[in-house]
Structure formats: C-alpha cells, structure tokens
Structure 1
Amino acid sequence: MTAPGFEDLLRGLAPQVLGTLVRRYGQFEECEDAVQEAVLAAAVQWPAEGVPNNPRSWLVTVATRRLIDRMRSDRARREREWAAAAEVVPGDVPDTDDTLVLLFLCCHPTLTAASQTALTLRAVGGLTTAEIARAFLVPEATMAARISRAKQRVRAAGSSFGLPDGADREERLRVVLHVLYLIFNEGYTASSGSELHRADLAQEAIRLARAVHARLPEDTEATGLLALMLLTNARREARTTAAGDLVPLDEQDRGKWDRRLIDEGTELVKAALAGPALGPYQLQAAIAATHADAVTAGETDWPQVHALYLILERIAPNPVVTLNRAIALAETEGPAAGLALLSTLDGDERMAGHHRLLSVRAHLLERAGDRAGAYEHYRRAAKSTGSIAERRHLESRAARVRPCGPGPSGPEPSGYGTGR
C-alpha cells in the first residue's frame, strides 16, 4: 500500500475510532488526543510491518492504551494496562460506525456556529488546523485556540453520545450540512498546495452526506446537499489536464463526466425539489443539474441558471452567490451587466482581495475587450490564491491578454468561476 493509501485508510478510520472511545469513556478532548497518537503510531508502523488484519481494532486498542496512560498516574498500573490492552482481540471492538453521532456531538448547541464547524472539520473531516484557518480566513493560532475551547466546552457540557431528537436535531443538522459542504469544497478545489483536488476529502464528505441522507431521507436539504456533491464531483476527471493544469467548465471534455453520478444526482435533485420549501443546497444542486443537462457548453440554459441564483440570493444572501450570479448575468445580458453587479461587492470586506472576485472581474473585463484591465486582475488573482493549480491557470490567462502580447487573445472562456 502506498503512502497516500495509508493516509486514506487512516483518515476514514480516525473518526470511527474517536466515536468508539467517546462512547466508552466520554472526555472528548482526551479521546481525540489519544486517537491522534494512535494514528501517528500507525503511520510509522504500518508501512514497515504491514496493515493489521483489523486496522480499526488495532487503532482502538492503541488509542485506548494511550488514553489509559493519561488517566493512570501509577507506573505499575500503567504497565499492566499496556499489557492488558495489547491482548484485546478484534472481536471486542463493536462493528459500529459512530461517525454520524460524532458529527452531531461536534455540533453541540453550547458552541457557536463557527466553533461547531471548526471542531467537526478537525475531529471528523480530518482537516488540519491550518486548512480550517484558511477556510475561515483567520490566523492558524486563532483557529487552534477556537478548536481547543470548543473541545473543552463539549466536555464541560457533558452531552450524551447519541443522536439528538426534535428541534435540537434540526438545529444541529443545519450546521452538520454546512460542515460537510465545506469539507467537500476543500476536497474539490483545495485551498492550497500543488494539487487542484483532494479526492480523499471529497469522497469522505460524500460518504458522510450519504450517511445523513440515509438516516434522514425526508430532509430535502440533506438530499439536496448529497445531489450537489454528486453532480459536482462527476466533473472531477475533466477538470485538469494530464499535467495537472485546470480546465474551465466550458472547455472540459464532457465525455469524461461520470454519467452514473450525474444520473444519481439528478434523481436526488428531483426528490429534493419536490419538498414544500426551497433551501440553499436544493437550489445549488438544481444549478449543477442544469450544467449537467447541457451536452455542450454552448447549450447551457444560462437564463435558468441566473434565475436559480437570483432565488438563492434572496433566500440565502452571500457575496459568493452574487459573484456567481454576475457570471450568469453576463452570459445572458453581456459582460457590462455582469461587471455592474460585481461592483456591488467592492465594499464587502469578506471579498476584499479575494482571488475569486478578482478572477471573475478579469474574465468579464476580457470579454468586454479591456485587455489591460483583465491582465491586471488576472495577475492580482494569481497572487491571491494559495492553490498552485489555480495560480498557474490565472497566470496563463494573464499571459494570454498581456497588452503588449502578440496577436488576439484566443477563444473566450464561458462561465469562468462558476460550477468548475
């Protein structure tokens, strides 16, 4: 098994092992520390000694051993516990995946929404503190302190380890869905690094979304989120060249799109939209389905895409939604209309200097014939992203429209920045 293979296995097992320990012993913070130590031990030992027959049981045993070490101060008793833990047989570990329960525990009502999201991304999603900090646009030290306080509050609250009921479940479910959305986005378009995708995170988000949908099939937003993930992930193989360069939506080989995921996602969209009310994930899934319906980029139903974004903007105002609506508006009414809408985001501190706003404005300026303006914004966008793949793509766009460059700028991208 390759190093990435070990990483994928450990990422999937870690939340299950953490759920087992928290169910047995409580003490969320101490259990998470013990699991992290067990994962580290596995990362060192398994490549040299081979993966155990029951890797989950191995991790539970080692994590329990570490936890007992923390709980017992007497050296003699500690050594006896080490020996006893080493003799635990795999059958002693319940064959139960508590990941979903752990998701709801991380979304405890005593925590703020930001802390709920950060803790879940750390404990269940497997993101590093640095990755979570980038998602929240805060310093890593700030995020580390936030996660630590969240774990302490969960422990102090003494929450039972089980799925909540009624209104409490509904409240926590909204946060759970948002967390899974963030995990998927980080996996589909990594915020930093040399690779555009982090397939392990995207697949984990889909796995957890399936678990939530299976437990709560009547929840149309949970259905919509799963549909959105499947329809978006269906395009993954077409998003990069063999060299790892980004391919925009309008230039992708749609024959590489995964029709099985598209068909499944489309059916889920139909089920989600049949509900009594519309939510953000249902609408985003409907937009993804509209893109999937188009055999070629030129056949995209942009008026429908714009109408869906307009509804989404009304029920869930967000600068990123407005940004994407500007792209759709430019496709239906021209780049000037899109640029006018983008200008309404210039005073939004959340978007100040954000590479998405800069890159979309560059694209629309290019379509409007302003090569100098497009060049400047492509360059600024390239400097603002932490993703090497996106940076290379933006730099290539800048080179294409460089005012002093030779010849015409080449074919215009369509829908740059939306649904990629």
Structure 2
Amino acid sequence: MLNQYKNYFHIEPDKGLLNDPNGLIQFKGEYYFFHQWNRFNLNHDYKEWGLFTSKDLVHWTNRQSAILPDRSDDKNGVYSGSAVEKNGEMYLFYTGNTKVNGARRSYQKIVVSNDGQTFIKQENIIKTPEGFSEHHRDPKVWKYNDIWWMIVGAQTVENKGAITLFQSYDLLSWKYQGVFYTDPNLDQMCECPDYFSLDKEVDILTVCPQKRTSYKEDDQPISSYAGYIVGKMNYETKKFSQTSLIKLLDEGFDFYAPQSFLDEKGRRIIVGWMSRMDDNQENNCPTIEEGYLHCLTMPRELKWINDHLYQIPLKEYEVLRKKKQQFKNECGIISDNSKVFELIITFDKPVENFSLSLNSNTISYRDGYLEIGRINWVTKELEIKTLKITELTKVQIFCDNSAIEIFVNGGQYVFSMRYFCDKPKCEIEYKNLNEGGNITFYSYEEENE
C-alpha cells in the first residue's frame, strides 16, 4: 500500500528514527548532511550518524550509516556535532556518549575523511572541563585568523546552562579557553550551539536551552526550544557578548537542533530537525506504521536584513515547480491538486484580514495577528501558534505530504510543522484576498506521479 505520508522533498529515513542534523558541509562540490539515527528502532536508545548527500540541495541520496558507536568512548551513542574542511580533508567532530554503572561520560571526538566515504576515528579526545557536568556535548567548529575554534553545549555543576570554548591550531589538539557564554536564558543546560557572522557588526549565536530537574539525567518534557542571540564575539577576551534578548528561530510547532554551514556560493544555510513532538505524539505518529520517524526541514539561507534575521527559501527549489495556476479573486478554492506544492500569496496593498485553509491546517491574519493552526493527530483538536506582526506582505508555503513550512514576509518569520491528513488531495480555500493581491500555485508533482 502506498505510504501517503512519505515526503517528496524533505529528508527522512527509510527506517528507524532520525533526529538532529549533524556535520553539514559542502565537500568537493557535494553537500553532506549527516544526522542522528537509530536504524534499529523507533526510540532514542541508540544513536549513530547516518548520511544523505546531494549535488543540488533538493535531490538527496541516502548513504545510510556513516559513524557507528563502536568504541569504548562512544559506545552509548554518537551524539551531535559539526564538520569543517582542511587541506582537502573532511574533519568531523561529535560527542561520544558512554555510561558506566549509570554514570554518564562525554568525550568530544574527531573523525577524518579524505574521500567522503571512509571515516576514520582519531585517538584524540576532549574531556569535560572541571566545573561542568557530563552533559557537555554537540561541538561546533569554525576558523578565524588561522585559528580553529570550538564551542560545546554545557551544564555547570551548579545546574546552569553554559557554552564552553576550545582552541586549536591543527584540529587535533585542543585547549580549553573558558566559558564562551552563559546566561539564565540558557536554563539548566544548553545543547546544539552554533556561532556565525552575517554582518561585520553582527554575530549570531544559536542555542537550544533545556530545563532539567538536576544535573543528572532528568529532562522536563519538551521544555527545550531553538533560539538565537545577536551579539559579538571578542577574540581577545574569548567571550560572546549579547546585544539582544533570545528570540525564537522558528515560530511553528516543529523545529529544533538547527545547524548552519557556509557553502561554496558564500551562503549561510541552516537546517533543523522538524520535530518538537512530545512522547505521546511521537508514539502515535502515523509514520510508525511505515517503520520510520521524523524528517529534517528544508535548507534555508540566512540573511541579516533591517536588523532582523531572515530565513529565505533556496532558489534551488524552483526546479520542482510543475503546473502553475494564478488566482486574483477575493475568495476562491484551489482544488484537484496533489498534497505536494508551493503556494505564494502577495499583497500589494495593506491587508486587514485574510484567511486560508489547507484541509486541516489554517492560516489567518486579523488586526495585526497571524495565526497558524493544525489538527493534533493525537487529541484531534485544533492547536494554534500566534504571532503579532506589523504588516503582512507575503506568505510562501511549501507543503509536502506530511510537512509544511510557511515563510512570512520573505522569510522574516517562519512556521514549521508536521501534519497528517488522510485525504489524497489537498483542497485549498482562501478568503478576503484584497485588491492587488495575487496567489500563485505550483504543483510539485506531474499529473501521472
């Protein structure tokens, strides 16, 4: 029987559970997206790195297993990390997780590949610095002024979230440099940190704060989220100083553990794990019947525009556009189409209210508030995310068979969410398209697909 939830252009596994994107890099002209993977089951008991590769960021090949938990210092999980290139070789950094008699130990580990196919673990390891619990993970590495820098998500022994900093001249030997950043907004632990510059005066630190009941093993259910902080790193003091409050990276239901990389075109591209499912949602996710769980978001280009972080859909996705339809009437129905499409709504004049429904999903704008709704597949009830915005000029929707990403005002805000609809086609109804408004619909599937 055909899997009606199988996504058309989102990365997802053929089996098992996928989570955090890892080691994102363009290496010798090819894009590498590693990811957390349990290929044996649909839970989080086992972690290795799986791998997808692509020439164009749209069409992907599943390369299956890349890095396995086969050493004493990573036997309980190959956790998240990053990638860089040096002298034609790919260097991968990840957290090796071990547990002995229930006690966690974390080690930052190094893997080298010269061909992108064989991955050789190095003997060098980085141990957790004094003053921190063993929740010390997810190394992100970059180069500045011929020096390699690494930040690692951390938790102090006082149960406070922090980010540690390390330095290297050869990517193999690393020295601890102190606390890169800490703040009460990081809650009791910070994981999956990332750091990059988008402007000469603006650096971005992305973080995933967690609430934890202690520095031992207990997480509060789905307390963590993905956010970003604007600031500047001082390479002399080796500290990050913030100039803004923490803000959400994504306003939707399903977005976490993002990671960015710089491609050969000079674009800063970010990808997230498309899930913030709680245990009940995960255990009742419809794709379980097909033997797999979760997907990644579309890659997005990051830009700093008018003192705001924009996430912009890649132009590469335009290659998927097939049949085109346009609508200008005040109200209308777009029917007899597949569930895989792109929808662009533009408003040339100020809009006071507008609404659109995509089967069980809803988008409405009224009195300066944008609401995005979906039906929870467990409770069967409507749940809504609300955002106050000063104006609405454009909505661009990328709809897959069980994933939707909504870009507002050219990427000023993004809503990501999973959805599960039993209807084979998606009926779209819109209301109150004002004068000068325009809707463009692109099907991503041929008629016979």
TM-score (norm: length of structure 1): 0.31
Larger % of helix: which? 1
Larger Rg: 1
TM-score (norm: length of structure 2): 0.30
Larger % of strand: which? 2
Higher relative contact order (CA 8 A, sep 6+): 2
